[in-house]
């Protein structure tokens, strides 16, 4: 299992009230020109030195411009000297790097500093609000997510957002940015799964002119573009293993080096990452670096699937219709449509619901969407047309509620995919559009259910 000594997590349901574990670093100057100066940090890396770009700035003339840094690691906070002129000391012993524990004194130049860890365990109480920035939901699951976001958005903590495809991970990242002190800065999105492997490093960190074939001019990468703001790394689980050490260095050192350049550029960014893959499993399989996972999962927010918060439909439907992006007169759905929505599995989650509603608007005659306005694929998935699933007593005996539920969902999902592929004549792009999800999601679902598509085509 991945060690997470300092990681802050939203606990699983069913194990008591969810809690958020926050661990901050506190520094206080005990002796020297800046005696009495104190600060508390959420940062993964706290730099100490004489120039303004450090997090903890000292006026002591014996302190170097970039003197030392404290880095969060899986084994605890690490004090590292950055090649200073006058050194860093613990108990009169000059050190290069040393673990600090939870409380310790050290000296940089002639300045003595006290270091402490400040733990805070916060019970996550569902908020009364049913909205958080652009997010909507009245279910307990979503109001607990809002409770976490209210706490972490104001900090500099790195956040990992997990959940199925289409659950709104980018919306969460945007909400964190808009609710943070960085809201006036840029918000930059980078999809790790949408860029060719040989171009990812250039897209992330930039390149100089002539660095490779086709690099006709210098270009800043997304980390430089996000300087002073937030970068959202989507589909993080798709990041190639060979590039993960480079990303880790950027997160730890807050500086980038463009491809083909020797110059190092400092960047000030907050990172929010997202994935629909199980990073814990990828770490165990050696496909994702444990130290990078630790660096990114300082706070992990898990988004519920739409089928687990169907009580939010009365809030979500009007919200999605109001934010359609084009003028229309539709304000809701007919009662039989909402009943169908409540019985549907929603493999594409919130994204699929939005696509269904937007596609139905032009075919609606009044101010409500009726059954005839819906896509054929959704009407075909109505319970009256669905293949009967095994009765619980026949196939789920001895299983827990959640195990039985997942088993029955798998039966439905496999039949839905088989019907979908047949209806779309093995055209995976068309199948993805009808299902309201992206093509990669359809491909992964087919693979998971061992459904082989012979002669699959594209549009």
Burial of 179 (0-12, 13-18, 19+ CB in 10 A): middle
Q: Phi then psi for 427, rounded to 5 degrees?
A: -90, 105
What pLDDT does 18 receive?
A: 67
Any idea which residue has 């055209």 for tokens?
427
Q: What is the DSSP string of 290-321?
A: HHHHHHH-SEEEEPPPGGG-GGGHHHHHHHHH
Q: Phi then psi for 174, rounded to 5 degrees?
A: -65, -40
From 234, 238, 256, select the one nearest 247 (Cα to Cα): 256
Task: Calculate ∠ Cα 267-145-165, nearest 5°.
Answer: 75
What pLDDT does 401 receive?
A: 57
Q: What is the rounded CA–CA span in Å between residue 445 and residue 389?
A: 19
Q: How far is CA 331 from the centre of its chain?
A: 32
The residues that bridge with 25 in the sheet, in sequence order, are 41, 117
Q: What is the rounded CA–CA span in Å between residue 380 and residue 383?
A: 9
3 state SS of 30: strand
Spell out the per-residue pLDDT of the chain, length 459, in tens: 333 333 444 444 444 566 777 778 999 999 999 999 999 988 878 999 999 989 999 999 999 999 999 988 878 899 999 999 999 999 999 999 999 988 899 999 999 999 998 877 777 788 889 999 989 999 999 999 999 999 899 988 899 999 999 999 999 999 999 999 999 999 999 998 888 878 888 888 888 888 887 777 888 889 999 999 999 999 999 888 988 988 888 888 788 888 888 888 888 899 999 999 999 899 999 999 998 998 888 888 999 999 999 999 999 999 999 999 888 999 999 988 998 999 888 989 999 999 999 999 998 888 999 988 888 777 776 553 333 334 333 455 566 655 665 666 677 777 778 878 877 878 888 888 777 777 777 887 888 788 877 655 555
Q: What does the chain come to in residues?
A: 459
Q: What is the rounded CA–CA span in Å between residue 106 and residue 92?
A: 9
From 184, 186, 189, 163, select the one nearest 272 (Cα to Cα): 189
Task: Calculate ∠ Cα 244-166-432, nearest 5°.
Answer: 100
Any idea which residue has 């509620």 for tokens?
401
From 273, 295, 254, 246, select the one nearest 46 (Cα to Cα): 254
3 state SS of 423: helix
User: In this structure, are residues 275 and 236 in contact, taking their beta carbons and an 8 Å threshold?
Assistant: yes
Q: What is the rounded CA–CA span in Å between residue 64 and residue 83?
A: 9
From 372, 418, 357, 412, select the one nearest 390 (Cα to Cα): 412
What pLDDT does 402 receive?
A: 57
Calculate helix-pair angle for 140-152, 169-178, nearest 10 degrees. Answer: 40
| Predicted TM-score of the model (pTM) | 0.73
Q: How far is CA 26 from the centre of its chain?
A: 27
């Amino acid at each position: 299992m991945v060690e997470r000594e300092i990681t802050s997590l939203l606990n699983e349901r069913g194990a008591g009230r969810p809690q958020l574990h926050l661990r901050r670093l506190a520094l206080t100057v005990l002796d020297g020109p800046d005696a009495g100066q104190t600060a508390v940090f959420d940062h993964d890396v706290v730099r100490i030195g004489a120039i303004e770009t450090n997090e903890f700035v000292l006026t002591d003339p014996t302190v170097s411009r970039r003197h030392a840094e404290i880095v969060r690691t899986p084994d605890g906070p690490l004090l590292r000297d950055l090649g200073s002129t006058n050194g860093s000391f613990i108990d009169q012993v000059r050190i290069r790097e040393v673990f600090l524990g939870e409380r310790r004194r050290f000296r940089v130049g002639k300045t003595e500093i006290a270091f402490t860890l400040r733990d805070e365990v916060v019970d996550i109480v569902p908020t009364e609000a049913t909205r958080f920035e652009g997010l909507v939901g009245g279910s307990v699951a979503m109001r607990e997510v809002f409770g976490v976001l209210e706490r972490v958005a104001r900090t500099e903590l790195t956040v990992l957002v997990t959940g199925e495809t289409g659950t709104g991970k980018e919306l969460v990242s945007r909400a964190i940015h808009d609710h943070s002190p960085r809201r006036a800065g840029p918000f930059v999105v980078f999809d790790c799964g949408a860029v060719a492997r040989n171009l990812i490093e250039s897209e992330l960190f930039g390149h100089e002119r002539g660095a490779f074939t086709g690099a006709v001019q210098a270009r800043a990468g997304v980390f430089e573009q996000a300087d002073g703001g937030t970068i959202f790394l989507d589909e993080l689980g798709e990041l190639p293993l060979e590039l993960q050490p480079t990303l880790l260095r950027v997160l730890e050192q807050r500086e980038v080096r463009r491809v083909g350049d020797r110059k190092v550029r400092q960047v000030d960014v907050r990172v929010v990452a997202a994935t629909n893959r199980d990073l814990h499993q990828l770490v165990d399989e050696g496909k994702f670096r444990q130290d990078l996972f630790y660096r990114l999962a300082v706070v992990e927010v898990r988004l519920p699937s739409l089928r687990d918060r169907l009580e939010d439909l009365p809030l979500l439907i009007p919200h999605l219709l109001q934010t359609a992006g084009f003028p229309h007169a539709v304000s809701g759905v007919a009662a039989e449509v909402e009943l169908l929505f409540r019985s549907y599995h929603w493999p594409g989650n919130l994204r699929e619901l939005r696509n269904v509603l937007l596609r139905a608007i032009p075919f609606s005659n009044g101010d409500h969407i009726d059954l005839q306005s819906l896509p054929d694929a959704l009407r075909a998935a109505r319970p009256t047309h669905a293949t009967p699933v095994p009765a619980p007593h026949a196939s789920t005996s001895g299983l827990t509620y959640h195990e039985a539920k997942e088993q029955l969902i798998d039966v439905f999902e496999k039949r839905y995919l088989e019907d979908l592929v047949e209806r779309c004549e093995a055209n995976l792009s068309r199948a993805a559009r009808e299902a309201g999800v992206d093509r990669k999601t359809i491909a992964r679902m087919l693979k998971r259910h061992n459904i082989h598509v012979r002669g699959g085509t594209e549009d």
